[in-house]
Chain A
Amino acid sequence: MTEITRRTALGAAIAVPAAAALARGAFAADPVEIDLFFPVPGKLADKMKELIDRFNGQQSAVKATAVYTGSYDDTSLKTRAATKAGKPPGAVIMSANFVREYVINGDVDPFDPIIAKHGKSPSEFFDQFWPALKPNAMIDGKIYGIPYQNSTPLMYYNVAAFTDVGLDPEKPPTTWREWLDAAQKLTKPSGDRWASTFPALTIIAAGGPAPSSCRTAGSTTTTITAAKFTTTPRRHWAHSPCSTRSSTKRRSCRPVSATPMLARAPFLPAGSA
Chain B
Amino acid sequence: MRAEERLWAFVAASAALLWAVPFAWMAVASLRPGVPPDIASLTPTGPFGLGNFAEAWASGNFPLWYLNTVLMCGGILAVQLVTVSMAGYAFARLRFPGRDLLFSAFLLQLLLIPPLLIVPNLATLVSLHLYDRLLGLMAPYFASAFGVFLMRQTFRAIPRDFEEAAMLDGASIPVPIRHVLLPLARPGLVAFAIVSVTAHWNEFLWPLMAVSSPRNHVLTVGLASFASGAEAGSAWGVVAAGTFFVTAPLLVFFLIFQRRFVSSFVYSGIK
Contacts and interface: CB of A to CB of B under 8 A. Distances in A.
**Closest 9 interchain pairs by CB?**
A85-B122, A270-B235, A269-B234, A68-B225, A85-B123, A270-B232, A67-B212, A41-B229, A84-B119
Interface of A: 2-3, 6, 35, 39-45, 65, 67-71, 74, 77-78, 80-82, 84-87, 267-271, 273
Contacts of A68: 214, 221, 224-225
A123 to B, nearest CB: 33
A84 B122 contact: yes
B7 interface: no
A85 B126 contact: yes
A79 to B, nearest CB: 10
A84 B208 CA distance: 16
Interface residues of B, number: 31
Contact of A70 (B213, B224, B232): B224
Interface of B: 35, 59, 118-119, 122-123, 125-126, 131-132, 204-205, 208-209, 212-214, 221, 224-235, 238
Contact of B208 (A78, A268, A273): A78
A268 B221 CA distance: 21
A35 B212 contact: yes
Which label, helix, strand, loop or mixed, suits the secondary structure of the A interface?
A: mixed
A2 B213 CA distance: 24
B123 A41 contact: no
15 contacts: A39-B229, A41-B228, A44-B231, A45-B226, A68-B225, A70-B204, A70-B224, A70-B228, A77-B118, A81-B118, A85-B122, A87-B126, A268-B231, A270-B235, A271-B234
B35 A85 contact: no
A75 to B, nearest CB: 9
Nearest to B217: A68
B213 to A, nearest CB: 7
B231 A41 contact: yes
Contacts of B231: 40-44, 268-270, 273
A42 B227 contact: yes
B241 to A, nearest CB: 13
B218 to A, nearest CB: 12
A179 to B, nearest CB: 24
Contact of B119 (A69, A81, A268): A81
A69 to B, nearest CB: 7
Contacts of A40: 229, 231
A109 B233 CA distance: 35
Contact of A85 (B119, B224, B229, B234): B119
B221 to A, nearest CB: 7
Contacts of A42: 59, 225-227, 229, 231-232, 235
A6 B232 CA distance: 13
A29 B213 CA distance: 23
